[in-house]
Amino acid sequence: MTGGGMYSKMRVWAKIMVAMGATVALVTVVLTVLSLHALDRMIAQAERTELEGHMRTITQAIALEARQGEAMSALVATLPDVQEHFAARDRDALARQFLPVYDVLAKGYDVEQFQFHTPPATSFLRLHKPEKYGDDLSSFRHTVVIANQTHQPTRGLEVGVAGLGLRAVMPVFSHGTALGTVEFGLSFGQAFFDHFKAMNGADVALYLLDKDKITPFGRTYDGAPIMPEDMLRAALAGTPQFYHSAMVGRQKGETGIVTAPRAAYARVIPDYAGDPLGVIEISMDRSAYQATFDAARNTALLVGAATLLVGLMLSLLTARGLTRRISLLIEGVGAVARGDLANEIPECGADELGDLARAARDMRHQLHDLAQEVRTHTGTVDLAARDIAGAIEGQAATSSQMSASVAEITSTMEELSASSTQIAEHSKSVVEIANTTYESAKKGSEAMALVLGKMDDIESDNQNSLREILDLGNKSKEISRVMEIINAVADQTKLIAFNAALEAASAGDAGRRFGVVAAEIRRLADSVTDSTGEIETKIGLIQDSISRLVITSEKGASTILAGREATTHTAERMADLVEAARQTSSAAQQISLSTQQQRTASTQVVIALREIVAASSHTAQSLARVSEISREMAHLSADLGTLVNRFRLSTATSGETTGIPPAPATPAMPEGTSPSLPSPPARP
């Protein structure tokens, strides 16, 4: 069985308990987890803040130690005796002056080194080792080299022959001349870290990292570093690291094994030049924070359990109240389902169950009223069913008579439809003949129109020819006038040639050649006169021919005009004939259309009458079916009365009679009907 099936079979109160319990448990768990997560973040932030404070403290302590060393170096460098002895390179005088001072500083103030150097970094006097001097330190004592080069004080952590130390180097001047440097080396060993732990209550360790390993320089606890190596290297790269760890190790000065949760913070520590030198790791016992977290967790769990218990109790009380109200409602609805409509369904409040109870009360009232109305109307329905059966029998007889009459009318209409069909077929032949006549007349009219167009073209061409002939006569007359001018010019030319011959003769031998030319000109003039005479004769003949042609063309134009008028009259008669043929064709088509419509109407009437006959037959069958249904309805009315009597409508008796008369005998079926007829078609 699946979980969903089990839940669906649970009682309502159990479902409410499960839902409320799951909701309260979920809310409690979520709030507890979120609260503990927020508390854990707050504790981590508090631990980090505290460790960062310790980190600031130790870095400030280192800076303060370096500042003190620089102050002592500055004090020594500014003493006139020191400047005088150092300038004279009087090592013994400086030793006599400062050996007592060094003993006091080494014993009471953790000063490990006190020495003088000459440039660039040569040991001049070691007060902590007076017997050793003159060695070159420039290869590893970079603070001394820088101070001698820059003539500025230098301080910070530096790795020397003796290891890592806190150095403070001050240049020494005499009358503006750099003499060398004086240095104080302060203690930066285990004592420094032990003092820090004693003052702040936190463990501290300084690790020097190289490519291969991690070397502890000083620390206040034994064992491996708290942080993993990768985190220490990340801190050396410049990113501060915060880490939670449970430390298992041996504390300095103790013999027992201490196991406690730890919080650690690591940050890079620079040397004198600001370059990464190592990593300082500060750690502290976080048991108090862990105890606070555990107490808060336990409190949250207790509050969550109490909240869950209270929620379950409230859910149980709510579920019991709902179950009690639902039981009352089920009892009332069950009584209605059993047919007991006499008792009211009790009220169940103003919530959704109350709405459901009121809806059930309304349902009971509706069923009560419905049962009473059904009981009242059952008898009426039975009487109505009997009346319907009688009326249906009379209707069936009338329907049979009407069906016979319609059959006779249908036969008559079928004969009329056959006659209409023959008329329609003959009218089609008339329409075809009329259409043929119309088409022939229309073609004749089109031919006459073509002839009329050709006559118009002939008349137009004749008029153009007449105009050309007249124009030709005018041109010949102009040629005659030009020939007259040519004759006149020839006569003048002959006269001039004659005068020239006379002048040539009078001139003797000198004019002989000119006389020959004049004779030639006269001969040419005679030739021109003869030629023009012949041309005038020809032109006269042409003009006579043109005159006769004009007369002939005018007669032809009159004849063409008469022919055109006759053709126009014929075309008008053909147009009248075409219109008459068109009207005849239209009338024939109207007659054919009317006969076809009459034939169609007759066919439709016949079809309608056949449908009426079929409908009458179907009506008779339907009436038989209705009669059968009315008898069945009477039986059903009696059965309905029996069913209604099962409802208890009042508290006086357990049942009431309906007063319905017994079902009547089934009436006889009319002749010609069948007791098992098909049902009528559904109404569209």
pLDDT attached to residue 459: 74
Furthest C-alpha separation in the chain: 191
Indicate whether 329 belongs to any domain. no
pLDDT attached to residue 32: 82
Residues 136 and 279 in one domain: yes
Model pLDDT for residues 353-385, shown as the tens digit of each residue: 677 777 877 776 777 777 667 767 776 776 776
Indicate whether 316 belongs to any domain. no
Indicate whether 273 belongs to any domain. yes
Containing H/E element for 169? Answer: strand 163-174
> From CA 181, how far away is CA 73, in angstroms rounded?
9
Residues 405 and 288 in one domain: no
The domain boundary, picked from 270, 293, 316, lies at 293
Residues 289 and 427 in one domain: no
Residues 426 and 285 in one domain: no
- CATH number of the domain within which 453 lies: 1.10.287.950
Share above pLDDT 90 across residues of the chain, in percent, rounded to a whole number? 13
Residues 288 and 409 in one domain: no
Residues 289 and 402 in one domain: no
- How many other CB atoms sit within 10 Å of the CB of residue 510? 9
Pick the more confident residue, 222 or 335.
Answer: 222
User: What average pLDDT score do residues 38-61 get?
Assistant: 85
Range of the domain at 558: 398-615
Sheet holding 214-219, edge to edge: 214-219, 203-209, 276-285, 257-270, 241-250
pLDDT attached to residue 168: 92
Residues 288 and 406 in one domain: no
Pick the more confident residue, 117 or 643.
Answer: 117
Indicate whether 634 belongs to any domain. no
Torsion of Cα atoms, 85 then 91 then 93 then 96, to 10°: 140
**Band of pLDDT at residue 333, cut at 50, 70 and 90:** confident
Indicate whether 354 belongs to any domain. no
The domain boundary, picked from 269, 293, 317, lies at 293
Indicate whether 373 belongs to any domain. no
Question: Helix (H, G, I), strand (E, B), or coil: what is residue 115?
Answer: strand
pTM of model > 0.75: no
Residue type, 200: N
* SS3 labels along 412-470: HHHHHHHHHHHHHHHHHHHHHHHHHHHHHHHHHHHHHHHHHHHHHHHHHHHHHHHHHHH
What is the number of structural domains in the chain? 2
Question: Do 283 and 251 touch, CB atoms closer than 8 A?
Answer: no
Pick the more confident residue, 73 or 258.
Answer: 73
pLDDT attached to residue 180: 94
- How many other CB atoms sit within 10 Å of the CB of residue 327? 10
The domain boundary, picked from 564, 591, 615, lies at 615
Q: Indicate if the pLDDT at residue 346 is higher than 80.
A: no
Strands (E), 293-392: none
Indicate whether 684 belongs to any domain. no
Residues 587 and 465 in one domain: yes
- Tell me how far the alpha carbon of residue 324 is from its chain's centroid: 54
Tokens representing residue 352 in the block: 């959704």
- CATH number of the domain within which 118 lies: 3.30.450.20
Tokens representing residue 556 in the block: 């032809």
Indicate whether 148 belongs to any domain. yes
Question: Do 166 and 188 touch, CB atoms closer than 8 A?
Answer: yes
Q: Give Cβ neighbours of residue 543 (< 8 Å, ≥ 6 apart).
A: 473, 476, 477
